[in-house]
Amino acid sequence: MTYDRWYLLGEKRNELLALREVEQYGRDSFGDPDYVSIYGLAPREWYARGVRILGRTTVECTRDRLADRIGRDVAGVTRAASAASPPLAIDLFAGSANTLHWVARHADARRAVGFELDDAVFALTRANLSATGLDIDLRHDSYEHGLTALSDPDADLLIVFVAPPGAAPSTLSPGSTCAAPSLRWRTSSTPPRAFSAGTSCCSRSRSTRPSTPPRSPN
């Protein structure tokens, strides 16, 4: 059995993967058993700490190497904004929360909030964040409701990630199947409805991809 994206997004989609399966996916698909490194840890390290991920998360997560680069890019934008206080980082579709972790780390965010509506992904990510000791406020809520309920009067700079589940592969690494941004960054002086005037917003958009393999042409 070849551990490729279609196998993990299909038969293994909602199954917890064993360490050997995570490493096999990296080995079969990218020639690297440590490909799915998250939270700054190689698979054998995060697995030993009790971190567990589903088949679909193994494919769709933003691995460390890319999340680190995203975080550095975001930090560059926030530094240029010259905010009076550390930023508030929000991921509207947190998933594994690995991207949010790296963004908050590089941007020196004083607070990181992620929204995850999927029951299974939320439960696992919450447990994983606890196992790794990461200070991320993960909320089991939709971003529409969550942003309305969230208030932070001290926020001077806001970082918002728009990362739909099933995002397109990164253009940075041909053949990659991990969810990744296009790195087309923009800033806006118009604050989101839930926040006070003067808030800035750094966002990234990503196109969608099918969750099941396309049919081969006849």
Q: What pLDDT does residue 165 have?
A: 45
Taking the model in full, what pTM does it have?
0.75
- pLDDT tens readout for residues 95-147: 999 999 999 999 999 999 999 999 999 999 999 999 999 999 999 999 889 88
The number of CA neighbours under 13 Å toward the Cβ of 217 is 0
User: What residue segments make up the domains of the chain, in order of their start?
Assistant: 5-60, 65-203
Q: How far apart are CA 146 and CA 141, in angstroms?
A: 6
Q: What pLDDT does residue 189 have?
A: 34
Q: What pLDDT does residue 152 have?
A: 67
Q: What pLDDT does residue 66 have?
A: 95
6, burial (CB in 10 Å: exposed 0-12, middle 13-18, buried 19+)? middle
Q: What pLDDT does residue 184 have?
A: 29
- Return the percentage of the chain with pLDDT > 70, whole number: 71
Q: What pLDDT does residue 153 have?
A: 60
Q: What pLDDT does residue 207 have?
A: 31
Select from 191, 88, 194 the least CA-distant residue to 149: 194
Fill in the DSSP letter of residue 48.
H
Task: Report the phi/psi class of residue 157: left, alpha or beta, with left for phi > 0 and alpha for psi in -120 to 50.
Answer: beta
Q: What pLDDT does residue 175 have?
A: 35
Q: What pLDDT does residue 150 have?
A: 81
Angle 156-188-70 from CA coordinates, rounded to 5°: 80
CATH architecture group of domain 65-203: 3-Layer(aba) Sandwich (3.40)
Q: What pLDDT does residue 163 have?
A: 56
CB atoms near residue 38 (< 10 Å): 26
Residues with pLDDT less than 50, the chain: 164-218
The dihedral formed by the CA atoms of 147, 95, 91 and 186, expressed in degrees to the nearest 10:
-130
